[in-house]
Amino acid sequence: LSRRIPPGRARRFAFEHWPSFDRAAWASLLAEADAGALSRSPVAIHGSDRDTGAIEAATANADRAGVGEDVAFRRVALSAIEPPPGPGWVITNPPYGHRVGEAGPLRDLFARFGQVVRARCPGWRAAMLSANRMLEGQTGLAWEEVFQTTNGGIRVRLIQTPGIPAAPAGQ
């Protein structure tokens, strides 16, 4: 997104095989999209996860999309994140809590997320893909719904904060 590369730019679509497909018009649209793309991201993008496999998968996906040089991934626990200076966004896609017995540990994870971002990212904004309003509430952050969709067949909401408040003293 930061490089203005349209999603799916490198893929082929079934409609390209339709008898009425206008190859010249499609090529013109692709050229227009390519002309608006940036060669590098104008903002720093950092990704983290405590799981090595998740970092490896994210790195491979970024490389496949041609944006690997724009993203710095590292393996780190949530409680140890060190955001760069200045304002920014914290964007997360935490577990949704759909498996039996997941709710208890996830309440703690969501609460810890809220504590960490208030302590380390005050003034920033946050966005989350969530399927559980109760867990969202555990963060202690004020969320606003942006839109609803599905992810892996699960109904989810993209929610965001207007801003992350500073952590209360002593937290």
pLDDT digits (tens, 9 = 90+) for 34-72: 999 999 999 989 999 999 999 999 999 999 988 999 999
Q: Is residue 150 part of a domain?
A: yes
Structurally, how many domains does the chain consist of? Answer: 1
End-to-end Cα, the chain, rounded Å:
35
Stretch among 3-7, 80-84, 101-105, 138-142 having the lowest mean pLDDT = 101-105
> What's at 90, amino acid-wise?
V
Task: Give the pLDDT band of residue 159 (cuts 50, 70, 90).
Answer: very high
pTM, full prediction: 0.80
Tell which wins on pLDDT, 100 or 15. Answer: 15
pLDDT for 170 beyond 70: no
pLDDT for 77 beyond 70: yes
> What's at 11, amino acid-wise?
R
Q: Is residue 27 part of a domain?
A: no
Pairing relation of β-strands 154-160 and 71-75? Answer: unpaired
CA distance readout (Å), 113 to 29, 109, 135: 42, 6, 11
Query: What is the average pLDDT score of the chain?
Result: 91
Q: What is the mean pLDDT of residues 156-165?
A: 93
Q: Is residue 147 part of a domain?
A: yes
Q: Is residue 74 part of a domain?
A: no
Q: Is residue 20 part of a domain?
A: no
Report the CATH number at residue 115. 3.40.50.150
Domain that holds residue 148: 81-171
